[in-house]
Amino acid sequence: MNKFIFSLLLGCVVLAAQPGVNFQAVRDIRLQNLKRDYTGSTIRFIVPGSTSVMGVLKDVTDKNFIISHNGSPAIYSHEEINYIFVDPGFTGKLMAFGVGLIGGAAGYMAVIIAKENANASWKGVVSSLGLALGGRIGFKTFFKPIKIDISGKTRE
């Protein structure tokens, strides 16, 4: 019975503490983390008007993003922006390609092990299917953009 009462009180304390969170402070911390971790990275975001903007992040100020868009600096207000997307770079492409190659090699080895005297067409077809399936899995796993929430909301 004591565990039930303790759990109930702990749940009430957690729920009562959430409305007191300062959303602007949370947003400022997330913007500082964005500046620290992703300056120099290519980012994407959607401005109010449903226009997608992409460029290299140069700086984050209290009110604006400064990005390099086609070689020239551009300033965008981040007041109405809730999410930033960071696209994967060369390493993500390399990982996805590597998984595809492993899939192709696994298909080739499976044909050699499963079928005695396998002809070249069997080896080619199964290797191609393994390469395609491995590449698909690799791109779905390693080639996803990172979604960064800068809204200031602590729970959805």
Q: In CATH terms, is domain 2-87 a member of 2.30.30.100? A: yes
Closest-CA residue to 78 (of 92, 99, 57, 102): 57
pTM for the model: 0.64
Report d(CA 73, CA 57) in Å as an integer. Answer: 10
Domain boundaries, the chain: 2-87, 90-142
**At 125, which helix (H) or strand (E)?**
helix 120-142
Angle at 59 between CA 52 and CA 86, to 5 degrees: 45
Render pLDDT for 5-63 as a digit per residue (tens, 0 to 9).
Answer: 767 766 666 555 555 556 778 888 888 888 898 888 888 988 888 788 888 989 888 88
d(CA 107, CA 109): 5
Per-residue pLDDT reduced to its tens digit, 74-129: 888 888 888 899 888 888 889 999 999 999 999 999 999 988 888 888 889 999 99
